[in-house]
Structure 1
Amino acid sequence: MRRRLVRALARPLVLAAVASALSAGSALAATSDRVVIGGFPVEASDSPWTVALSSRNRFGGTRAGQFCGGVAVGRSTVLTAAHCLSEEVLGEPLERVHDLKVIAGRTNLLSAGDGQEVAVRAAWVNPAYDGASNVGDFAVLILARPLPVGSVIGMAAAGDPAYAAGGEAAVYGWGDTSGVGDYPNSLRAARVRVLPDALCEDAYPGGADGGYDASSMLCAGETVGGRDACQGDSGGPLVARGRLIGLVSWGIGCGRAGKPGVYVRVSDLMRTLGWTRV
């Protein structure tokens, strides 16, 4: 029996600072098991909103402690996958991870002189996240200091044409490039297509392989496989028409035909948080 896989290398933690920032987020408005399969190198300057989540205490310094991805939707606000902050991934409760940081503006994780590492001041994990079904797989990080101007990407609200099936999109991350544990130090991207909900429902009808929920998820890839997110990419961005439409969440394997990557649908995330377009 194949195991449904999230794409990362909790108990919800709700902090007052996050609640305040979430309220501000609506005013602002007025992304497993896969680095990128079938991808190509990109510079951080080409996608400055793509960030790496890091904890050297938990994941060592070989790749600067990177274990998941994230995306800046505000200068001090980063989205990632809820499962990235789970005890299963971190190895201990989130509140005990005292060195959680976001690495921004750095193409190569080992180029310590490039970009910046910013401490996470507060974290909010969606309390409705269901680890069994992967519904609601998102979290919000509030940074200790703002990222540079120009580091933010806008989110696509419901009805945005960026969600149209067949449209071109790109997924970014530092995850496994082969599906067998080949982790790059430098950022990569893969071109994929947004796939029809009906195809995704057929691919993941429920049961051991997981179920696709069109109201809160979308899937992307190629029907023949070959281009996908992979382990270590969880929480990273899926971008179409210059706007954020998804966060890397889960799937079966990496780049398999008939098993596309599944992403958090950003418009549903926005609805849940009460955010409008940014």
Structure 2
Amino acid sequence: MKKKTDFCQIWLLFASFCICVLSQDDGPIIYPMELETRIEQTRKLTNCLNNHEKTVRPAPVFRVKTYNEENLSFKDCGRWSASANETGPWHGLANNGKDGNTCSLFLVSDRTFISFECPLLKGFNNRNEITGVSIYGGERCFERDNCRFNHRLITQKIRKVSDIYIGHKTLFGDTIHVWEVDERIQFSDSLKPICLWNRNEKNDDNNKIEKYYGLAFGTGHSIDVNINPEENCYLGTVTKGECDLYGNSLCTKGLNSGFYLVINRDDRFYLRGMLYNWTSNKEFKQWVDLLPFTSQIVSASAGLAMLPHIPAPKEKVDFGENQSFPGCGRVARRGFRRKRDEKFSAESFIFNSYDAIKGRAPWHAALTRYSDTGPLAIDFCGATLVSKRAIITAAHCLFDENADLIEAARLGITLGMHDASKDEEDSRQRFRALELHVHPGYNHSKGDFRDDIAVIILREGQVRFNSYVRPTCLWNDDYELDKIANKTGKVVGWGHTSDYRQANILQEAVLKIASYEECYESKRLFFSRNLRPTENFCAGFPHNQTSACSGDSGGGFVFFNDTLELFFLRGVVSAGRSRTVVTDEGEFVNTCNPSYYALYTDVTNYMQWLVNKIPDISQPQS
């Protein structure tokens, strides 16, 4: 009886305590059903957060720091007196002049604005034909009448609008718009661009999310806001969209208006986010973090450039001491260490090359496309022999003028050729392709030369090795580009010579590997869009116009290992800047521009794929 009495007393005390808590005037009463809902919300939130690995993105590099320049997205961006009654000199407004529809814009370069889910664009299916829309800009330019009557017209000619999808439907939409105008905008004290964020994901110190202040724009004036840890915006029901956004959002407190989030750091203003949603906890608002989309914004923006992110290289495929194929990478000793002679001058090409000694590049192949009646093109691309059955080339070389993949049976391969003007050379070996393997990531219709690599397979037992025909080795050293930056390798080919015609004698050039930073800095706008670290790299001598040229595509970029006395394939001639020249005969020719680095597909990024496609390659060591 005593034990039973004690249990009842304890139960009554617990019940009395619960009633007391539930009846407090300053606290909410939680009923059983609501408690169950809270538990379910907490479970959803926990599952959402556990399924998203938090990573800190590196800061964008707009200016290479070694050049002692500020890392700003545009020169002198983000300067402003921060008047509380104005909206900033970067603010713009698009107006269609018909039904009163407007759209708030932010100026980010001398030719580019950005906006978020602009309703004005819904009537334009073709983003390259935006007509009847005017853009006004300057401080206090948010309300339509202010812009139209108190601020000057910036432009009535919009060249194009690019759409960047953020991957999930938000309360306001799912698209960032990049507006490009066709004339450069003249800046003034009341009209200048804002900076894109140039720091890491949340702050600067040890990846810890700190509280800092920003400004929200969108109501005709600025409002101070306090940025909080992202988890604070997940106190209520976690929708799929909110969960998908986790890790890509910002959370603010003490704000009930505004559509654009701006951060003031070091006396400059940076565009940081665009409104995503009001959260179930009304104290907080959630914003799309623009940092994950900076690369896409820059790529679509005229006048902006950013060093592409440099990822870690792929895991090395190690062939061991035997290398990728027995006997690969060796050449005849005669003339092996011949230095550049008087022909190595600014007037000679690969661009700026010299005649190769016969047998000096026994792995080099010429590709020929045949029709039913005979050859359509002579030596239109190069390639590199890497085994008895496999040749590596650029993917773009295997497509015809109609952008169709060439049939394997109509692709000819010539090995051992030195003088293309002589139809019969004892050293030549001719074959037809058996199989063509284009890298699955390559898309010829895009024309962006991404994953520009392919493998050609020959029939077994056809190739005969000798002094003039021998494979080079696949790369078997460290994959980090920094380990070979500023070192030299060589390319060969029958590309354009100084008269802008194909060479007869095989040409050879020594080229320097450029670091990713040096390549990007040499032509920021071009290489911010076309350099893809670990997928490709730059090489050449722009100062004296030494480069691979038109007709050299697909050829190999090889390095000599002094210790092993072997040549190794590191790159494939892919693409570069072009120019149009006029020959002595008055003919217009589109050719390479050797004043800039050329791009080479980095074979280390595709080594596992190459090993899987080449049937007679040495098995990598485990």
TM exceeds 0.5?
Answer: yes
Shift of 1:158: 5.7
The 3-state SS of whatever aligns with 1:54 is strand
Shift of 1:127: 1.5
Taking structure 1 as reference, are residues 160 and 96 closer, same or farther at Cα in structure 2, changes over 3 Å only?
Answer: closer
Alignment partners' CA distance in 1, 2:417 and 2:351:
20
Shift of 1:203: 4.0
| Larger RCO, structure (CA 8 Å, separation 6 or more) | 1
Matched, 1:80 2:409: no
- Listed one character per residue, the Cα deviations across residues 204-252 of structure 1 (whole Å, up to 9, x for unaligned) are 5456984200111011101414111111110001111221111100000
Alignment partners' CA distance in 1, 2:606 and 2:525:
22
Contact 2:540/2:547 (<8 A) preserved: yes
Alignment partners' CA distance in 2, 1:128 and 1:194:
25
1:1-278 to 2 correspondences below 5 Å:
29=324, 36-57=350-371, 65-88=378-401, 91=402, 93-96=404-407, 98-109=409-420, 110-114=422-426, 115-131=428-444, 132-144=447-459, 145-149=461-465, 151-157=470-476, 159=478, 164-178=484-498, 181-203=500-522, 205=524, 210-241=529-560, 242-253=567-578, 254-257=592-595, 259-274=596-611
Taking structure 1 as reference, are residues 85 and 188 closer, same or farther at Cα in structure 2, changes over 3 Å only?
Answer: same
Alignment partners' CA distance in 1, 2:549 and 2:486:
21
Contact 1:56/1:65 (<8 A) preserved: no
Contact 2:367/2:413 (<8 A) preserved: yes
The count of aligned residue pairs is 244
Alignment partners' CA distance in 2, 1:222 and 1:277:
35
Residue 200 of structure 2: aligned partner: none
The 3-state SS of whatever aligns with 1:71 is strand
Alignment partners' CA distance in 2, 1:87 and 1:255:
23
Q: Aligned-residue CA RMSD in angstroms?
A: 3.2
Contact 2:400/2:406 (<8 A) preserved: no
Structure 1 unpaired stretches of 5+: 1-24
Alignment partners' CA distance in 1, 2:413 and 2:486:
32
Output the amino acid matched with 2:389: S
Alignment partners' CA distance in 2, 1:146 and 1:28:
22
The alignment's TM-score, normalised by the length of structure 1, stands at 0.76
Identity rate, percent:
26
- Listed one character per residue, the Cα deviations across residues 166-210 of structure 1 (whole Å, up to 9, x for unaligned) are 1111111111123x6321122111111111111222345456984
Alignment partners' CA distance in 2, 1:74 and 1:185:
26
Contact 1:36/1:176 (<8 A) preserved: yes
Residue 11 of structure 1: aligned partner: none
Shift of 1:42: 1.1
Taking structure 1 as reference, are residues 57 and 78 closer, same or farther at Cα in structure 2, changes over 3 Å only?
Answer: same
Give the structure with higher Rg (CA). Answer: 2
The alignment's TM-score, normalised by the length of structure 2, stands at 0.36
Alignment partners' CA distance in 1, 2:409 and 2:574:
24
Taking structure 1 as reference, are residues 214 and 157 closer, same or farther at Cα in structure 2, changes over 3 Å only?
Answer: farther
